[in-house]
Amino acid sequence: MMIRHFLNLLVGSLFCSSVLVVHAQGLRLPAAAAAVPQEAGSNTRQRAADYIVAVVNSEPITSHQVRLEAQRMTRQLSQGQQTLPDPQEMAAQALERLINERAQLQAARETGVKIDDAAVDEAEQNVARQNQLELAEVHKRLAEDGIDRKQFRSQLREQLTLARVRERDVNQKVRVSELEIDQYLRDQQKNQGTDPQEINISHVLLALPDDASATQVAAAQAKAQAVMERARAGEDFSALARELSAAQDAVNGGQLGMRPVDRYPALFVDATRNLAAAGMVTVRSGAGIHVLKVIEKRAKGMPSSTVEQTLASHILLRVTPTMSESAALAKLAEFRANVLAGKAEFATLAKENSQDGSAAQGGELGWAASGQFVPEFEQVMNGLAPGQISQPLVSRFGVHLITVKQRRTVPLSLRDQRELVKGLLREKKLDDAFVIWAQDLRARAYVEMREPPG
């Protein structure tokens, strides 16, 4: 996943070693100033901040640079709730990462990879959009931490250079054949009987008290049968769950998610053991009567045979010389308040105001699966329950207001399933190819290790 992770970060938050980091409490910058001692006249402290620890093809790496990289790695691991190595090991890992990065950048420069100013300009704007700030505010916050615009643009240019050389030397050379897809599918089918199966179940919980009477149980069972009849007649099961279920996951349409069978209650696994996808059954638990619907079953490692789609609408206001970003945010906030107060219809506001091709359809974007929208838009959309309206958000296209109308799970075509397998195989090949490529560049580089980072 290494390549895809890097490129996703490049698109979403600009670059892997990003200057800007978004925390729960808001945008913050790396403690660059804190890493450099502030007291004047201390030769020891000054030396600790900037002495050379390694040279890569005559290009130095300083202790200060290693400390900054170690801080960034620590933040990244902490956010992922991963165990942190001890400081000495973290410094060694940071140094090795910087050596690899220097070798890759040098290879890019030697082979003519160049990033023009327009690409850096766009990258700057993307950083601002991702953090929902005006570009001037980004520069101000960087300056407060001692990072001027020239440094910032230099870091952006380096990360864009790395992405381009990796795309050229690794991504474009990886191919997946139809024969490889066929073989993968055959191997997975052979293992289906022995590998742990994964299952996705959706349910409607009709709650019962602990001391439920026979009358209450019978009424719940009758209601459960009615739910199944409505679903078989064509009603959306997710909508029924949101309407009737007493479970906390009702807001998600009752879906419990694709997971190994040993992570499901044994009661649910036993009840659905002989059901195919779309099959339904009722079962009694300590919480009440459940209507269970099998969304999907598959052998572990097989790609999904279904896909969740979202039907959303939006209003887009583009940022122009006559419409600033802050003005667009304020206007959409007003639209949201009017819709929530019942003073306006979302579709009407979209038709009258949205600067997008979907305006004629009341802002409706059609049924969309994951990956069809830019990450900043999709992340907000995915966090909405049907009927909810987002706060105004900024994307690379402008300022949006989003509402989700419905969600559904539909089967994938055979062609789409093969595309998923192709993606899985390509991702694995990319990871392997990237490791070999990076190791080769590292081996061919002249690396002189000086003093260990302190």
Q: For position 49, what pLDDT does the model report?
A: 58
For residues 62 and 152, state if they share a domain.
yes
3-class DSSP state of 213:
coil
For residues 358 and 263, state if they share a domain.
no
For residues 347 and 321, state if they share a domain.
yes
Inter-residue contact 346 to 362 (CB < 8 Å):
yes
CA 244 centroid distance within chain: 31
> How far apart (Å, rounded) are the C-alpha atoms in residues 123 and 15?
9
3-class DSSP state of 146:
coil
Q: For position 15, what pLDDT does the model report?
A: 31
Sheet holding 52-56, edge to edge: 59-62, 52-56, 447-449
For residues 157 and 28, state if they share a domain.
yes
Q: Pick the last residue of a domain from 299, 327, 346.
A: 299
Give the domain CATH number at 15.
1.10.4030.10
Q: Pick the last residue of a domain from 243, 274, 299.
A: 299
Q: For position 192, what pLDDT does the model report?
A: 56
Inter-residue contact 289 to 220 (CB < 8 Å):
yes
Q: For position 23, what pLDDT does the model report?
A: 28
Q: For position 280, what pLDDT does the model report?
A: 94
Q: For position 207, what pLDDT does the model report?
A: 92
For residues 106 and 220, state if they share a domain.
no
Closest C-alpha to 205, from 254, 278, 252:
254
252: its two tokens: 């998600």
Give the domain CATH number at 319.
3.10.50.40
260: its two tokens: 């190994």
> How far apart (Å, rounded) are the C-alpha atoms in residues 1 and 8?
10
Tell me if 186 is assigned to some domain: no
Inter-residue contact 413 to 303 (CB < 8 Å):
no
DSSP per-residue letters across 78-98: HHTTPPPPPHHHHHHHHHHHH
Please write the tens of the pLDDT for every residue from 229-280: 999 988 889 889 988 999 888 877 888 888 888 888 889 988 988 888 889 9
393: its two tokens: 């958000």
Q: For position 80, what pLDDT does the model report?
A: 63
129: its two tokens: 């959009």
Tell me if 324 is assigned to some domain: yes
358: its two tokens: 């979907």
For residues 144 and 100, state if they share a domain.
yes
Domain hosting residue 274, numbered range: 196-299
Tell me if 52 is assigned to some domain: yes
CB contact set of 283 (below 8 Å; sequence gap of 6+): 267, 268, 271, 289, 290, 292
Tell me if 454 is assigned to some domain: no
Tell me if 363 is assigned to some domain: yes
For residues 222 and 162, state if they share a domain.
no
Tell me if 181 is assigned to some domain: no
Helices marked H in 196-345: 214-232, 237-244, 266-272, 325-340
Q: Which helix (H) or strand (E) holds 369?
A: strand 364-369
Start-to-end Cα distance in the chain? 32
Which residues in the chain come in under a pLDDT of 50?
1-48, 194-196
Q: For position 138, what pLDDT does the model report?
A: 86
For residues 402 and 437, state if they share a domain.
no
Q: For position 441, what pLDDT does the model report?
A: 92
For residues 21 and 164, state if they share a domain.
yes
Q: For position 335, what pLDDT does the model report?
A: 96
For residues 152 and 229, state if they share a domain.
no
The residues pairing with 383 across neighbouring beta strands, listed in sequence order, are none
> How far apart (Å, rounded) are the C-alpha atoms in residues 138 and 23?
15
For residues 7 and 144, state if they share a domain.
yes
311 φ, ψ (degrees, to nearest 5): -105, 105
148: its two tokens: 């001027």
Closest C-alpha to 55, from 451, 450, 454, 453:
450
Tell me if 191 is assigned to some domain: no
Exposure pattern of 352-388 as b/e (b: 16+ CB <10 Å)? ebbebebbeebbbbebeeeeebebbbbebbeebebee
Tell me if 328 is assigned to some domain: yes
How many domains, the chain?
A: 3
Please write the tens of the pLDDT for every residue from 137-156: 888 888 887 888 898 999 89
What separation in angstroms does the CA of 374 have from each of 135, 253, 396, 418, 427? 20, 24, 8, 24, 20
Please write the tens of the pLDDT for every residue from 383-399: 888 899 999 998 888 99
pTM of full prediction above 0.85 = no
